[in-house]
Structure formats: structure tokens, C-alpha cells
């Protein structure tokens, strides 16, 4: 089987399951309008003057590289250049770090006025920034200054893997010994949901020529890692793991454990689905999607919190249940089992979330909608 990179054909799973082109287009456009220009209880995008804008994490009332890079990806896929450029200018103005050991990276959290809350980066933001910028360059063409998108993307990727090689200090975002992305630069463990082999395949083609081999190896390493991180029966993975895939029993500035199938972890199966859709390099991805959909359809529920073997934790509820529904549906890009259609139908009949916790759920909801409609595309 060949993926969309080779064929140029992107599955419209929603159309396959009986929804009309008009219904799909309307749902996609309405969702974007709600997230970017809806009411105060709906939108996550805010303008900041005529040429800047930001995505708010409405649950934490801050601006994160995760959300900014997600917003940029939404915009390039939807052909919204104005909003894309506003997000990128806000990012470069307030989040970019010019000095110190993390120079060249982006501060992972800022206040909505642009003041930095932290002086450390989060690798998931950097990899999404780079991919969105490459797509922007290919779809719209490079501009000048910070809007020379491809140059900006290459500079980000160079810093990600070469940081610390020279006297300025700092640490890279990928562990050089195993080519696996880190949770944060100063930690020696990873987050399975950060692993995006479908991005690394493209980085190997479009990044700096001298780093092509690194990204090829990173794609292979991440696909191998995910097999270790996802449970052989349930398909679930932990939020954080050691490099060998074992759940990491730790806390990071909170009492919340991270060896559960919890918030971050939901993205993993969505990433697996998209990797299979774009490149189709490993049938294990299809098998794992089937396992996870079977688990939730027969045993689990979207409000539960689980150990990766499927054991439900008493007295703990999912913080982002809509995200679970969305990512379970996106798994249908790879799934071939009997639950693929039911997971998509459950998603289709679920509305976007409103209220304070809407940001994370709705970002993953929109990515699922893009993916399942064949609109999450590689712009060459």
C-alpha cells in the first residue's frame, strides 16, 4: 500500500461513511469560524492589533507554543494566510528567545500580553512550527523577513538538533544517541505524542541537506519506539515514557501522574493515523488503531482514565473527553477493524466543546475533522 505522499490521494473517510461533500465542507468551515471568530465562549483565537494574533489556552489562560503552532497548521491547511502570518508574527515577537542557553528556541508559555511565563521550550511546538512553515512556503511562496517561511523552518530544525554543539550551551530537542524527541530539553525521557515520523520524513527532504540523514533515522526510530510505547492489547500509551517505551512514573510541577493514558497521550493514536495516511510504511499502525478502537468500543469510555493495560482508575475523570472522541475517530485513517465507522460517527455527532477547557479538545477536534475529510495535506 502507498500513502498520500506517493499517490497524491487523501482519503475522505467522512465521504466514505455516507456524509455529503456539502455537509463535510460546512462542518469544517463552521468549526474554523467558531474557533477563530466565534463568541467569547467559543473562540480560541484573538487578534492583537492589525498584524498579530494568538491562540489562548483557555484552561490555563496563557499562550503556548503548542497552541500557536497548532493554529498555524490549521491556517495553512485552510488557506488562511492572514491569520497564519498574524500568529507567526506574535510568536516571533514574544515567544522567540534571542539570548541565553535556549536562544533560538521559543518560550513554551507566555501571558496573553506577550510577557514570558517561562524561559524554556517545549519540542512539540518547534516541530509543528517547522512543518507549518514548510507547508506555508510550498503553498503560498516565501516572503521577506520572518515571512521567508522555508528559511525560518530550516533555522528552527537546525537549532533543534544542533543546540549545545558550540560554546553557547543549551541542549538539543532530540536525543543524539537514539534520535528520539525529548519531553523537554533538560529531561532524558520522552512523550509518545510528540513523535511525528510523518513530519520527519518531510524534514529529511526539505530541511538542511546535512541533516537529511538524521531526520530519516528519526522517522524510523520514532516508528520503532511507538511499537514499544503502545500496549500490545489495548493500543494505549502513557503520557510520558522512558526511551524504551516504559511508562514514566513521575510528576512535573504537579501531583498528576504521567504513566496513565491521559491528556497528552490521546494525540498519539491521531498521529499514528496521519502517519499511516501519508506514508503507509508500517502495517503495525493499522493494527494498533484497531486495538485502541476495540478497547474503547467494548470496554472503555471517554470519561475514564486508564493505565495502559486498560485498568480504569477509580475517582479520576478525563479532563478532555472530547479529545478522546476526536482522536479515536482520527485513528480510522489507519484502522481496518469493525469499529472504525462507529468511532467516526460518534465524532461527527459530537459538537465542539465550549467553556474554559475547550482549547485542547477543540484543537484535536479540528485536526480530526481535517484528517477525516482528506484536508490535512502535504503541501509540496
Contact 270, 326 (CB under 8 A): yes
Residue 308 CA to residue 311 CA, distance in Å, equals 7
DSSP code for 182: P
Grid coordinates in use for 348?
461527527
Grid coordinates in use for 313?
482508575
Residues with a catalytic annotation lie at 66, 264
User: Could you tell me if residue 22 is left (phi over 0), alpha (psi between -120 and 50 degrees) or otherwise beta?
Assistant: alpha
- CA geometry: angle at 368 spanning 277 and 22, to 5°? 95
Neighbours of 100 (CB within 10 A): 12
Grid coordinates in use for 114?
506577550
Grid coordinates in use for 185?
530539553
The CB-side HSE value for 9 (13 A sphere, CA atoms) comes to 7
Contact 334, 277 (CB under 8 A): yes
Q: Name residue, grid cell 477493524.
A: 337
Going along the chain, which residue ranges are E strands? 45-47, 53-55, 63-64, 109-110, 174-175, 180-181, 260-261, 304-307, 312-317
Amino acid at each position: 500500500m502507498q500513502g498520500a505522499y506517493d499517490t497524491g490521494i487523501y482519503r475522505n473517510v467522512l465521504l466514505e461513511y455516507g456524509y455529503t461533500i456539502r455537509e463535510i465542507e460546512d462542518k469544517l468551515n463552521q468549526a474554523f469560524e467558531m474557533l477563530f471568530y466565534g463568541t467569547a465562549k467559543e473562540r480560541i483565537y484573538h487578534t492583537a492589533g492589525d498584524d498579530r494574533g494568538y491562540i489562548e489556552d483557555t484552561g490555563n489562560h496563557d499562550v503556548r507554543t503548542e497552541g500557536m503552532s497548532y493554529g498555524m497548521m490549521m491556517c495553512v491547511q485552510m488557506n488562511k494566510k492572514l491569520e497564519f502570518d498574524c500568529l507567526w508574527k506574535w510568536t516571533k515577537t514574544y515567544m522567540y528567545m534571542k539570548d541565553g542557553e535556549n536562544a533560538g528556541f521559543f518560550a513554551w508559555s507566555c501571558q496573553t500580553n506577550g510577557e514570558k511565563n517561562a524561559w524554556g521550550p517545549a519540542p512539540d511546538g518547534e516541530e509543528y512550527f517547522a512543518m507549518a512553515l514548510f507547508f506555508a512556503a510550498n503553498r503560498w511562496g516565501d516572503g521577506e523577513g520572518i515571512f521567508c517561511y522555508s528559511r525560518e523552518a530550516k533555522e528552527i530544525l537546525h537549532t533543534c538538533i544542533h543546540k549545545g554543539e558550540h560554546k553557547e550551551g543549551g541542549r538539543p530537542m532530540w536525543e543524539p544517541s537514539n534520535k528520539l524527541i525529548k519531553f523537554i530539553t533538560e529531561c532524558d525521557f520522552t512523550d509518545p505524542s510528540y513523535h511525528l515520523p510523518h513530519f520527519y520524513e518531510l524534514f529529511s527532504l526539505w530541511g538542511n541537506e546535512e541533516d537529511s540523514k538524521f531526520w530519516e533515522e528519526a522517522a524510523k526510530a520514532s516508528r520503532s519506539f511507538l511499537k514499544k510505547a503502545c500496549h500490545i492489547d489495548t493500543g494505549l500509551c502513557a503520557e510520558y515514557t522512558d526511551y524504551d517505551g516504559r511508562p514514566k512514573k513521575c510528576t512535573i510541577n504537579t501531583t498528576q501522574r504521567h504513566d496513565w493514558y491521559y491528556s497528552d497521550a490521546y494525540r498519539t493514536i491521531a498521529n499514528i493515523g496521519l502517519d499511516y495516511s501519508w506514508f503507509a510504511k508500517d502495517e503495525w499502525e493499522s493494527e494498533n488503531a484497531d486495538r485502541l478502537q476495540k478497547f474503547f468500543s467494548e470496554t472503555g469510555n471517554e470519561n475514564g482514565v486508564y493505565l495502559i493495560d486498560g485498568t480504569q482508575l477509580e475517582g479520576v475523570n478525563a479532563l478532555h473527553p472530547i479529545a478522546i472522541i476526536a482522536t479515536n475517530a482520527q485513528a480510522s485513517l489507519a484502522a481496518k477493524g469493525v469499529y472504525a465507522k462507529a468511532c467516526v460517527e460518534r465524532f461527527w455527532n459530537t459538537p465542539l466543546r465550549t467553556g474554559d477547557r475547550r482549547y485542547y479538545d477543540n484543537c484535536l477536534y479540528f485536526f480530526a475533522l481535517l484528517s477525516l475529510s482528506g484536508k490535512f495535506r502535504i503541501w509540496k
